[in-house]
Every structure is written in C-alpha cells, then in structure tokens.
C-alpha cells in the first residue's frame, strides 16, 4: 500500500481519480470516486458526504447525511483502473462528529482498543484462509416463473458445453488437493492474483488448488493485526472478482456453490501478543496442550462456548449452512484438537517449539462474513474466555484425537440461521464490551433476516425434484 508521503507525487499529474471505499453491514464494499484535485488535505480532514439511508441498515431517510473520512494509510493504486487510487474510509456522523456506531470498520477499531484496555495483550494477529471458486461461466436466473443456475468449468467431471474445455483432464469430486496442470486449470490465475496482491503490499504465503472440483482455490495471506487484516480481506475479494471478470471468468465466494463437493470456508488463525511475546505459546507442557498455553486454551473455550452467537457473524447466510452439515468434512463439531480438521478449533502442529507460529485455527467461518464484525466478535468472546478462566477440557470440548464426524456425544453447530440470529439478539457480551452498539446489532439482524426470508420465499428446482410426486 502507498503511504501518504507518496500521495502528493502521484496526484501531481499521475492520478486522475481517488476511489473512496467503505464496507456496509453485509460486508460488501461500496464506493464513490472523486477527481484527484478534490482529494486535498482539507477535504480529507473534513470528509466526503454521502446518503447513508441508501445503504442497507445504516440510517433512515430523516438522518441520512453521513461522511466518509479516508484513512490515507490504506491508499493503493487500483490495479484495474488507470490513474486511480483507492482509499479505504471510515464512516462518521456529521451531527456528532463521532465515528458512526454502525460502521463495521469503526467497530473493528473499537475491538482493537478493547483488547488494549483489557491489559491481556496489546495486539491480536489474524490469518484467514480464504477459499473460493473460479468458474468458467455461471448463469443465474431468479424470477417467479423461471429460476435456474448453470455452472461451467473445464475441471468439472461432467462434460462442459464449451468444447474447448473438454480436454479430458478433469478433477473428480473431492480430489482437487493438489493436482498439477493440466488438471489444475487455474495455476496462472492464482499466480497473477498473487502478483497483484503483493504489488499492493499484501504478502502471500502460498497459493494452491483446493479439494473441490470446478476451480476451488486458496491463496493465503501472511497474518496481520485485526483491522489491517480485515482491510486485506476486502482487497483480496475485490482483486479476485475483478481479475476473474478481466478474463471472462467468475469468482464465487459462496460457502456451498456445488452440491456433493467440498464447500469454501475461511479458517481464521488467531493469536494474542504482549510486548512482542506470543501469549498462546507454552513449550513446557505445563498447563498446556499442543504447546498452547493455559491462556490460549481459555481463549479457545470462549469461542466454543459462544459459538451459537458467533455463527451469526461468522456464517451469516442461508448458504453457510449448506456447508456446515454434520458428519461430513465440515468443522461442525464444537470441540478442539491439535490435528483433527473436523473440530471447530484446531491447534496447528506443523512445527514444534516455534513461538511465533503458535495459534488457534477457528475453522467454522466462511467468506460471506463481514470480516470486521466477525474478527471483532471472535476477539471479544476469546477475551471473555480468558477473563472467566474457562477450561475447554472441563467444559467437555475435548481434546479429541479420534474421528469425531460420527461421534454422537460431541455437540454440533446449529444449522438454523433464524435461530442463530435470535441467539445474537439475546447476547449481552458484545454490547456490554462497548465494541458493538445495540443499533448495529439490531440493524444487522434485520438486514440478515430480510435477506434470508426473501431467499426462502422462492421455490427452488430441488422442491420440484423431491416433492413433485407427493
């Protein structure tokens, strides 16, 4: 990303527009562009006005005026539009002059402040593994009389209508980890996406094909602090979609776009540091498990004991629960383990005695979440586990070393989004922390309920497939 010192040089004849981006409650980027000459120090300080009532869940028509205040530390040259800088903004209430209570990014900032005030740690680190699909083509239609979805990919085992894609090199269901080209048809796409992200200052650790057929991919970013990583998640999805569009492809972040094959998650690695020391690391084995400290275990217990609330923010769509189906490979077991990927929390054990690498991996979230809200909520509940000195073993969450997909004694994540949203409405922890406002929670729940109800009202092809003979 470009720092402010570079800004004046770039604007001097090299930049025509600055694109102002902010995130709505659903976790979707919104934007408007201003000519470069309008991006003056004075205007940046004052902010740029917009109609908040036109953003779902933000404000009413009688209190619609809002301000975008650019965070100039986030400036980057837009890789898809000539002579354009992009800048991530915070949302402000012009009446009070304070950050807008429903701004997801502002909420994440309050989460970082909450951590420092707790005196537990001074920084949290986040490393989401974002999985997504890149299809050759997708056709979608949703009307009262004509609804369908048609996915085309040269990797899929069935014949593609596109004869150029019928080369015989197919990836069968659940066999996409890690075939080489020509079976893996998206090596060049991933490599180009990595180059773009790294040019934007986002360091990448690895890219590879994922388990599912049809073009399921994973590109892993190096860990970063909470707000910075949430910013990077938004940039990541923006780059993926625009690069796919550039080549006539389609990037899909739905957790479960293909029946019968693996879905896409966003396994989120987390750790707490204080004075440069990883608080989750305990190599002695005393009061620890898998080199995870007692404090780290309490943090994990905080997540597991509040998972029925967290899901409303980490897995916020009806499609999320087509992925989170018990007894398959999805991490639906409310449990922890050091190597078991069917548990909601895994403690990676690739390397021993490496302090910086010790972390927990919360495997439940998916890429339809709003990263600012999901990360902030997970941090708050993790800290609650520490504050209450929760012990995940005493609470019955494990550790489980054996296969727990079919263990009936292990609690499973709920699968009803409306029930989960109700859990969020009853929760007191998030609002009590001062990080989430009641207004944000209420508006978020309403937006997600409206979205889900609208989706459920439409008959699907599955209705006719399974019930036409009744």
Catalytic residues: 51, 129, 131, 210, 218, 267, 341, 361, 363
Element (H, E) at 285: none
Print burial letters for 349-362: b (CB count within 10 Å at least 16), e (below 16): eeeeeeeebbbbbb
7 neighbors 76 (Cβ within 8 angstroms): no
245 SS3 class:
helix
User: In this structure, how many other beta carbons lie within 10 angstroms of the beta carbon of residue 285?
Assistant: 9
The DSSP secondary structure of 385-435, one letter per residue, reads HHHTT--TTTTT-----S--TT-TTS-B----HHHHHHHHHH--HHHHTTS
CA–CA dist 218, 189 (Å, integer)? 11
CA–CA dist 201, 242 (Å, integer)? 18
User: In this structure, how many other beta carbons lie within 10 angstroms of the beta carbon of residue 160?
Assistant: 18
Element (H, E) at 85: strand 84-92
**φ, ψ (nearest 5 deg) of residue 183:** -65, -50
| Closest to 386 measured CA to CA, from 292, 275, 277 | 292
CA–CA dist 361, 341 (Å, integer)? 10
CA–CA dist 393, 338 (Å, integer)? 13
Element (H, E) at 343: strand 343-346
């Amino acid at each position: 990303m470009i720092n402010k010192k570079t800004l004046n040089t770039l604007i001097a004849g090299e930049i025509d527009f600055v694109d102002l981006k902010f995130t709505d409650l659903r976790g979707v980027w919104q934007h408007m562009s201003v000519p470069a000459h309008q991006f003056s120090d004075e205007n940046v300080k004052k902010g740029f006005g917009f109609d908040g009532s036109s953003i779902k869940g933000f404000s009413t028509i009688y209190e619609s005026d809002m301000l975008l205040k650019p965070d100039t530390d986030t400036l980057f040259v837009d890789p898809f539009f000539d002579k354009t800088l992009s800048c991530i903004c915070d949302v402000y209430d012009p009446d009070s002059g304070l950050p807008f209570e429903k701004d997801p990014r502002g909420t994440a900032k309050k989460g970082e402040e909450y951590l420092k005030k707790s005196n537990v740690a001074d920084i949290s680190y986040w490393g989401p593994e974002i999985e997504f699909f890149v299809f050759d083509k997708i056709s979608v239609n949703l009307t009262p009389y004509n609804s369908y979805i048609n996915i085309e990919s040269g990797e899929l085992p069935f014949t593609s209508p596109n004869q150029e894609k019928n080369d015989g090199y197919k990836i069968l269901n659940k066999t996409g980890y890690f075939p080489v080209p020509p079976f893996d048809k998206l090596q060049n796409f991933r490599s180009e996406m990595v180059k773009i992200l790294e040019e934007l200052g986002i360091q990448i650790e690895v890219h590879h094909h994922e388990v599912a057929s049809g073009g399921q991919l994973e590109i892993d970013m190096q860990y970063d602090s909470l707000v910075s990583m949430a910013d990077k998640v938004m940039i990541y999805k923006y780059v993926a979609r625009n690069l796919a569009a550039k080549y006539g492809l389609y990037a899909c972040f739905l957790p479960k776009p293909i029946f019968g094959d693996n879905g896409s998650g966003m396994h989120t690695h987390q750790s707490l540091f204080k004075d440069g020391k990883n608080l989750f690391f305990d190599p002695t084995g005393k009061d620890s498990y898998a080199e995870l400290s007692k404090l780290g275990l309490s943090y994990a217990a905080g997540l597991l004991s509040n998972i029925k609330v967290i899901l409303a923010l980490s897995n916020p769509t009806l499609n999320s629960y087509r992925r989170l189906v018990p007894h398959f490979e999805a991490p639906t077991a409310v449990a922890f383990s050091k190597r078991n990927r069917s548990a909601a929390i895994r403690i990676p054990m690739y390397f021993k005695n490496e302090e910086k690498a010790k972390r927990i991996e919360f495997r439940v979230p998916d890429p339809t979440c709003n990263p600012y809200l999901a990360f902030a909520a997970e941090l708050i509940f993790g800290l609650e586990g520490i504050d209450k000195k929760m012990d995940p073993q005493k609470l019955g969450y494990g550790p489980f070393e054996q296969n727990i997909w079919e263990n009936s004694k292990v609690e499973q994540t709920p699968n009803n989004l409306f029930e989960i949203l109700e859990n969020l409405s009853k929760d007191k922890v998030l609002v009590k922390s001062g990080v989430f406002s009641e207004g944000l929670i209420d508006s978020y729940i309403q937006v997600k309920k409206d979205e889900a109800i609208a989706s459920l009202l439409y008959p699907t092809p599955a209705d006719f497939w399974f019930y036409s003979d009744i």
